[in-house]
Amino acid sequence: MRKAMFVLAVILAAVAFACGGGTEPTVEETAAEPTPPISETLAAVEEAPEQPSTDDAVTEAPPGGIFRRLWSDPPTLDPHLVTDTTSAFIVVEVFSGLVKFDTDLNLVPDIAESWEIDPSGTTYTFRLRDDATFHNGKSVTAQDFKWSIERAAAPVTASPVADTYLNDIVGAMDYIEGNADSIQGVRVVDDRTLQITVDAPKAYVLAKLTYPTAYVLDREVVESGGDNWWIENGVGTGPFKLKEYSIGERIVLERFDGFYGEHAKVDFVHMNLAGGQSMAMYENDEIDITGVGIFDLDRIQDVNEPLNSDLVVAPPDFSVFYVGFNPNFPPFDQPKFRQALNHAVDKELIATEVLSGLVVPAYGILPPGYPGFNADLDGLTFDAALAQRLVSETPYADFLTNVASDSPYYETAQAALKESPFAGSGNTPRIEVTVPGTGGTIGLDLEVVIEFWRRVLGVEVDIVQVESATYLEELDLQKYQAFYAGWQADYPDPQDFLDILFHTESSLNHMAYSNPEVDGILEEARVEHNAFSRVSLYQEAEDKLVKDAAWLPLWYSGEQFVLIKPNVKNYKLTPMIVPKMAAVVIE
């Protein structure tokens, strides 16, 4: 999922991934458990045993209480339109689907109590629970799922992600493109049995079905509620009901006592949307959880500080932050220019001296600990002289004439210009980097990256800020020459990063990047069922993407620091967004 946010401004402002800054809190959404072994994760859906029912998980009367947190207005709470983490954190608690990942990242039954996969590996038969109901008491049927999946894929719904997360289903793309009246690969067998047929045996199919595009909705509620049906009547099937949504003020989730699974322990989750400084609100006992940023870190780590006892150190989440380049816009049409921008940034210095070690410099795409992560990947590290030589070998060599005489890189820039066959052309296109938000600040890390580009390469950059919802829409339209963004895993499979973000035909390939060789490797990996062979293919694709400088990877999240009130129990820090609030207890 895209992180529409001032990416590192969050950490610098000591908020939980932009709580109070107009975007989504994720500092506290980080891993608390080790990642499952690669072979176990990628091979999980290659076997097809009948899954156990979760009936025994239903609990007795919960103890109650209110869990309070700072949040931001979500762009949408319609599961079929969700593309961002701000919305998704709420959606996974209010709505649900056939399967889900638990807080240990095991793929487990949800509304589907069991499933079978036919010998071809392409047809999945799901048996639905008898006790699953919508919040209004209606029983959930297989027909509800068929309608919901087709509603997500319908052209009139205009989901920006349906063609990414549903495209493996037979007939889905014909339906999305308006060339069919239904999705051939979704079939109702009876009220409690649903069949989904995909176009090839692919190891990640079940994982993809955990994404909200496959969540079930009440047709009557949706069709009678208009475009924003969820504001007034957000009927779902999850452990919490959407009790109240006052835009710019608050969201209130209420425990759903008719939930088919583990009942929530708290009565309510209160999400403050009015903004504020999260650390101050935490210290004033207005919220129960906050991230800790640079300016408060030393104080909170002091054992003599009363808040030190609330401190939780969370391992990294599955995310990466980057600057995307669109090769359809000069000067990013030149691979050597893109490589130069990578080599011109001293990420180690920025991470340690500017960001106090709260991030890990990224030289690849897949995050550490994530299935397929390659610790031996040879990334594009800081080398100012090499960066200048690469620029001198492009039609945009004259950028180097802008390197200031007081720059420590001036002499090497002049030497590179003397060797350049393109010097004197006057060809220095204007460069814009677009970021989400309206606050006027872009994040200290991006400021320093741009300063490196100026001092090493003479590249001047204009920053354009765009309101977050518009930013997401225009990303999908590939409108930006360059942009600042982040991606957090939707499911633990390298396909979720490499295929979705870089395949030529992916709608979430916001860079409009196209490399037929990479496409071929990714397509081969889709149908490779040997877990280790799949990893090898994905690592090969990642290596080619990094060498071609498809983007500038910046940071993986490092250890993150979170304060949680001592009376809050069982809030699990996970590396990606999964349903988790039902387990929280307020003592």
| Per-residue pLDDT in tens (0 to 9) along the chain, 587 residues | 865 433 333 333 322 222 222 233 344 433 223 333 333 444 443 443 444 444 444 444 456 899 999 999 999 999 999 999 999 999 999 999 999 999 999 999 999 999 999 999 999 999 999 999 999 999 999 999 999 999 999 999 999 999 999 999 999 999 999 999 999 999 999 999 999 999 999 999 999 999 999 999 999 999 999 889 999 899 999 999 999 999 999 999 999 999 999 999 999 999 999 989 999 999 999 999 999 988 899 999 999 999 999 999 887 899 999 999 999 999 999 999 999 999 999 999 999 999 888 899 999 999 999 999 999 999 999 999 999 999 999 999 999 999 999 999 999 999 999 999 999 999 999 999 999 987 777 888 999 999 999 999 999 999 999 998 899 899 999 999 999 999 999 999 999 999 999 999 999 999 999 999 999 999 999 999 899 999 999 999 999 999 999 999 999 987 789 999 999 999 999 999 999 999 999 99
Per the domain annotation, does 293 fall within a domain? no
CA 72 – CA 86 distance, rounded (Å)? 7
Q: Are 173 and 163 in contact (CB under 8 A)?
A: yes
506 and 576, same domain (yes or no): no
Q: What angle do CA 53, 58, 63 make, to 5 degrees?
A: 160
547 and 568, same domain (yes or no): no
CA 465 – CA 471 distance, rounded (Å)? 9
574 and 513, same domain (yes or no): no
The number of angstroms, rounded, from the C-alpha of 149 to the middle of its chain's C-alpha atoms is 21
Find tokens 């993986």 and name the residue.
556
Q: Are 34 and 470 in contact (CB under 8 A)?
A: no
48 and 110, same domain (yes or no): yes
Per the domain annotation, does 304 fall within a domain? no
**pLDDT at site 124:** 98
Per the domain annotation, does 484 fall within a domain? yes
Q: Are 259 and 184 in contact (CB under 8 A)?
A: no
Q: Are 206 and 99 in contact (CB under 8 A)?
A: yes
564 and 453, same domain (yes or no): no
**pLDDT at site 3:** 56
Find tokens 């036919």 and name the residue.
118
CA 272 – CA 202 distance, rounded (Å)? 41
Q: Are 56 and 548 in contact (CB under 8 A)?
A: no
Q: Are 549 and 518 in contact (CB under 8 A)?
A: no
581 and 479, same domain (yes or no): no
Query: Tell me, what CATH number does 235's domain have?
Result: 3.40.190.10
Q: How many CB atoms lie within 10 A of CB 555?
A: 24
**pLDDT at site 357:** 86
Tell me the residue type at 26.
T
545 and 523, same domain (yes or no): yes
Per the domain annotation, does 162 fall within a domain? yes
SS3 readout for 342-381: HHCCCHHHHHHHHCCCCEEECCCCCCCCCCCCCCCCCCCC
CA 508 – CA 160 distance, rounded (Å)? 8
Per the domain annotation, does 61 fall within a domain? yes
Residues comprising the chain, all counted = 587
Q: How many CB atoms lie within 10 A of CB 130?
A: 14
Beta strand residue intervals within 489-528, DSSP E = none
95 and 145, same domain (yes or no): yes
Residue-wise over 253-264: b if at least 16 C-beta within 10 A, else e?
A: bbbbeebbbbbb
Per the domain annotation, does 166 fall within a domain? yes
Per the domain annotation, does 515 fall within a domain? yes
Cis peptide before 331 (omega within 30 of 0): yes
3-state secondary structure of 233: helix
231 and 332, same domain (yes or no): no
SS3 readout for 542-561: HHHHHHCCCEEEEEEECCEE
Domain count, the chain: 2
CA 138 – CA 587 distance, rounded (Å)? 33
Residues linked to residue 462 through DSSP beta bridges, in sequence order: 432
Per the domain annotation, does 311 fall within a domain? no
Q: Give the dihedral of Cα atoms 230, 235, 239, 242; nearest 10 deg.
A: 40
Q: Are 210 and 101 in contact (CB under 8 A)?
A: yes
CA 268 – CA 117 distance, rounded (Å)? 39
The domain in which residue 74 lies consists of 9-269+560-586
CA 444 – CA 466 distance, rounded (Å)? 18
410 and 374, same domain (yes or no): yes
212 and 134, same domain (yes or no): yes
Query: Tell me, what CATH number does 506's domain have?
Result: 3.10.105.10
Closest to 207 measured CA to CA, from 3, 495, 486, 488: 495
514 and 499, same domain (yes or no): yes
